[in-house]
Structure 1
């Protein structure tokens, strides 16, 4: 008789002790590496990507906006107190482009330090400049054809702009045909007019704030008194603000004045009537002091912030740039390691080279404690604008390192002088 096989006793796995969940850090409270990627724009914090598209603010990269943005489409998704962004955060006075100028026709052999010192010497001690040395930096392009200047305040840049034609080699500083050619960046945005900028009443303010209505009057003979030039200006209409630029030490004026009229509707007529009229040994030059892209005045709060941005209109006959700026692709930490930096650069150039010949690639890296505004962005300069436009349309929305790529144009002048 076959012996019956004994059954094996059941295996009892020792029961593990229940872990103390209180000792674990909640996943929502775990420290995460700080990064600037995938942060929602101001005004969009409490709405989804699908809802944001209804604003009309996000056409295909490189394509014109078909219609102005309709704030009412967003109003249904956000409350008046949600997603607010202060007007100060979006004010043009806070933008770097409002404090930046490009200077052409430089004397041969001049240095960045020499240019910066020249403008500081010209501006220091004037009654419209607060503080000393308003010119913070000057960077000469590798082509030596121009330099990028940055000032402390937008008003300092506006004053320096009025000095176009000045000669660096002439001790007298008088404008001449062979002098410096000064202009604003192509993407400069004209500041909006503030209805409360001046106190009510008939008193003429001595502070002329930057606005679309500010006029610049230059080439005033130095022997003409302030009362005379003001009387001439007032023949065209009632003034709201007027200032003749003077040296506070000698009380001698510099041949430059700024003004704003009480009636903004007459500005074009004033320019037509006063510009180029003979005065002394030359002709008076009258023009708008702040000419750039226009923006509409937005509402307060999140929707207002979006409206303010949506109101920025592209300049007519816009010239495309050969430089492409790619964002949301790399972090500061990834750029610290030399090997990883080179791998990223090689990978990007290989892909971007599919759309046209690349002249140069710049990927700003962190430099110790010094803040570099270009860190996190990648700049690629193509041989022609057609290649740049193809790259923008092809790369925008692509995934790179699990991030959605944002692509746009960037100023060629800014690229050449690393003015990020």
Structure 2
């Protein structure tokens, strides 16, 4: 099996981010794509302290998330690229994903609520990835969970984390 690599150049940074999400784990030639931005390491300098590591985690992973969410840490953690719409087709699969998320997130703090918007039947998001929103009791717990879960693999996918505006979360705006 080839372990070659390829590069794509995009005019808009957001297009590159969407392409990475869309290509991540896409089957090809008996294997799966691993897609990241070529400048990933350049945009993530080594942290000088735990607090800078937490803030870098939030700002670096947020480039994969639409502008409807904020880079500033909040008590609402967004997990992206964790599951595809097909992974939550059945009520059993949906419940299993929610329980997995709840179990992992409780290791880092008190989980107040979890929301996993279900795609409409037959209508899949452009990125082929569903976002999971987890509300923690406070910002520090959400940051700890974001740091622990960002970059981990779940269901063959690399999870990215960001923070969501609490007002938008409360209003049900999960864009």
Shared fold by TM > 0.5?
yes
User: In the alignment, is the contact (CA less than 8 A) between 1:62 and 1:408 conserved in 2?
Assistant: no
Q: Which runs of 5+ in 2 are unaligned?
A: 1-20, 26-34, 48-52, 58-65
Aligned to 1:53: 40
* Mapped partners of 1:36, 1:59: distance in 2: 27
2:159 to 381, 400, 405: 405
Deviations 1:1-26 (A, max 9, x none): xxxxxxxxxxxxxxxxxxxxxxxxxx
Q: Which runs of 5+ in 1 are unaligned?
A: 1-34, 40-47, 66-94, 98-185, 188-313
* Mapped partners of 1:408, 1:353: distance in 2: 18
Aligned to 2:22: 36
User: How far does residue 377 in structure 1 lie from its aligned partner after superposition?
Assistant: 0.7
User: How far does residue 401 in structure 1 lie from its aligned partner after superposition?
Assistant: 1.2
Aligned to 1:109: none
Query: Counterpart of 1:356 in 2: which secondary structure?
Result: coil
* Mapped partners of 2:78, 2:153: distance in 1: 15
Aligned pair in 2 of structure 1 residues 373, 414: CA closer, same or farther (>3 Å)? farther
1:378 is the counterpart of 2:103: no
* Mapped partners of 2:147, 2:22: distance in 1: 23
Aligned to 1:395: 149
Aligned to 2:55: 63
Aligned to 2:6: none
Aligned to 2:112: 359
User: In the alignment, is the contact (CA less than 8 A) between 2:22 and 2:126 conserved in 1?
Assistant: no
* Mapped partners of 2:46, 2:131: distance in 1: 21
Aligned pair in 2 of structure 1 residues 37, 401: CA closer, same or farther (>3 Å)? farther
State how 1:132-281 maps to structure 2 within 5 Å. Answer: 187=70
CA RMSD in angstroms comes to 3.3
| TM-score where L is the length of structure 1 | 0.28
Aligned pair in 2 of structure 1 residues 37, 351: CA closer, same or farther (>3 Å)? farther
* Mapped partners of 2:85, 2:124: distance in 1: 11
* Mapped partners of 1:416, 1:50: distance in 2: 32
State how 1:107-146 maps to structure 2 within 5 Å. Answer: none
Larger Rg: 1
Deviations 1:331-361 (A, max 9, x none): 0111111111101111110111100010000
Query: Counterpart of 1:408 in 2: which secondary structure?
Result: strand
* Mapped partners of 1:393, 1:96: distance in 2: 21
User: How far does residue 402 in structure 1 lie from its aligned partner after superposition?
Assistant: 1.7
| TM-score where L is the length of structure 2 | 0.62
User: How far does residue 52 in structure 1 lie from its aligned partner after superposition?
Assistant: 2.4
1:342 to 95, 108, 131: 95
Aligned to 2:4: none
1:331 is the counterpart of 2:77: no
Query: Counterpart of 1:367 in 2: which secondary structure?
Result: coil
User: How far does residue 55 in structure 1 lie from its aligned partner after superposition?
Assistant: 2.9
User: In the alignment, is the contact (CA less than 8 A) between 1:335 and 1:366 conserved in 2?
Assistant: no
* Mapped partners of 1:366, 1:409: distance in 2: 21
User: How far does residue 370 in structure 1 lie from its aligned partner after superposition?
Assistant: 5.8
State how 1:304-315 maps to structure 2 within 5 Å. Answer: none
